[in-house]
Amino acid sequence: MYIHAAIASFGASADPAPGIDLVPRSMARRMGPALRRSVGCALAALKAAGIERPDAIYFGTGLGCLADTREFLEEIDRNAGSTLSPTSFMRSTHNTVPGLIALAIKAVGPNLTFSQGLLSFHAALLNATLHVERDPDHMVLVGAADEHLPLLDALAGALPDVALPEGAVLSEGAAFLVVSGRSNEARTCIREAWVGAAEQLTARMNMTGKILTGPVLDGRPPIDPSGEPYALRTGLHQSAPALALVIAHDELPAQEHSRTHIIDRAGERCGLITVERC
């Protein structure tokens, strides 16, 4: 599966975030900053790939639109018993981002959202792989986004079982890629998008390559200590593997290894994304 465009936006660094100007004004007005960033990033990826609308949208998110979830919880608390505003409720569903992208560009193809903690994006990428195997000419938009709330820092501090890796901070971000089964002029391609038992990971990584390892929050050692911990660059959030993929895509043409493995662990299960020069 070939990558035709890859755009990421994360932390506080991207100001203005890519693609913000592409979000229809009537929609952007009613969006919070994180939502605007996600939709903008998706539209920027489509523009970079030179297409107006994709044939399918597959999306991962660990916690969905957290700001809207918080707002509706506060609304319930503040106005219990009276008529509440539905806006934040409507936006709190996990598939809000791909739903709004579809709405913005009239994308009527499959539109799926996956949520499984740090392994959310992997399922979206696997579904994109299935799609382009069936329809190699289709252009598929695949991405992930998560939001940060100060509450997450407070909760992480209050939970004795959570140990943030040294130097990494809880953050947020969005990343979108356009992929297809045709090489065109693509420089990189996805070789693997996999989720499975931790003990099977080594067998899946049967070719050498640079290794980017995901954050481990439960205090256990990283799954591959020789890898470069990508969360120091992407920040800690559950869409970080998608950002790591964009980083790997950007760096592959100039790096020594022709391939990068991105490995993540959530409990007893692992995720693997392998991307290489083509």
Partner 1 sequence: MNPSAVAITGIGAISALGAGTDAQLDGLRKGRSGIGHLEVLDLPFPELFFGEVKLSSADLAARIGDRADRSRTALLAILAAQEALEHIPEEERRNMAVISASTVGGMDRSERVAIHWLNGDLAQAGVAFGHPVGDHATLLADRIGANGFITTLSTACSSSANAIMLGAWLLRTGRADLVLAGGADALCRFTIEGFRSLSAMDTQPCRPFSDDRGGMNLGEGAAYLVLETIDHARSKGREPLALVRGAANTNDAHHQTATSPDGEGPFQAMRQALAEAGLAPMAIDLINAHGTGTENNDVTEQTAMERLFDAMPPFVSTKSATGHTLAAAGALEAVFSVLSIRHGFIPINLRTTSPIAGLHSAPTSAVIERPIGTVLSTSFGFGGNDSALVISKV
Comparing CB distances to partner 1, the nearer of 16 and 73 is: 73
Q: How far is the CB of 278 from partner 1 (least distance, A)?
A: 22
Comparing CB distances to partner 1, the nearer of 125 and 252 is: 125
Q: How far is the CB of 270 from partner 1 (least distance, A)?
A: 10
Q: Is 243 exposed, middle or buried (0-12, 13-18, 19+ CB in 10 A)?
A: buried
Q: Residue 258: left (phi > 0), alpha (psi -120 to 50), or beta?
A: alpha
Comparing CB distances to partner 1, the nearer of 131 and 210 is: 131
CA distance 165 to 20: 31
Comparing CB distances to partner 1, the nearer of 132 and 252 is: 132
Give which of 109, 111, 133, 113 is closest to 121, Cα–Cα.
Answer: 113
Question: Which residues on adjacent β-strands are paired with residue 163?
Answer: 218
Question: Which residues on adjacent β-strands are paired with residue 209?
Answer: none
Comparing CB distances to partner 1, the nearer of 220 and 253 is: 220
**3-class SS at 196?**
strand
The binding site for partner 1 (CB under 8 A) comprises 57, 61-64, 70, 72-74, 76-77, 80, 83-86, 89-96, 98-100, 102-103, 106-117, 119-120, 122-123, 126-127, 130, 133, 151, 154-155, 158-159, 161, 194-197, 266-269
Q: How far is the CB of 44 from partner 1 (least distance, A)?
A: 20
Q: How far is the CB of 15 from partner 1 (least distance, A)?
A: 27
Q: How far is the CB of 108 from partner 1 (least distance, A)?
A: 5
In the chain the first and final C-alpha atoms are separated, in Å, by 10
